[in-house]
Amino acid sequence: MASCPCALSLAVPTAMAAAQGAVTKLGVLIVRGHVMEGLVKASDLVLDKTGTLTMGQPELQEIINLRQGYSREDALALAAAMEAGQRHPLALSILRAIELENSNPVLLSNPVTNEMGKGLSCGSYRLGSAVWLGLERNTHDGQYGQVHLADERGLIASFIFLDTPRVGLQHLLRAAQARNITVHLVSGDDPATVAWWANHVGIQRYRGVCTPEDKYEYIERLQKEGRFVWAIGDGVNDAPLLARANISIAVGAGAPLAAAGADAILTASSLEPLAKTLALADKAQVIIKENLLWALVYNLLAIPAAMLGLVNPWIAGIGMSLSSLAVTLNAWRLRKA
Distances (CA, A) of 198 to 53, 143, 203, 205, 334: 10, 10, 5, 8, 34
* φ, ψ at 224 (rounded to 5°): -70, -20
Q: What is the DSSP string of 136-157?
A: ---SS-TTEEEEEEEETTEEEE
Rounded Cα–Cα distance for residues 262 and 255 (Å):
11
229-233 vs 247-251, strand pairing mode? parallel
Helix, strand, coil % (nearest 5) of the chain?
A: 50, 20, 30
The answer to whether 239 and 256 are in contact (CB under 8 A) is no
Are the CB atoms for 184 and 206 separated by under 8 Å? Answer: yes
Which of 44, 48, 163, 238 does the annotation list as catalytic? 48
Give the closest residue to 127 by CA, choosing from 159, 101, 95, 160.
Answer: 159
Is 48 designated active site? yes
Phi, psi of 258 (to 5 degrees): -65, -45
By annotation, the residues acting in catalysis are: 48
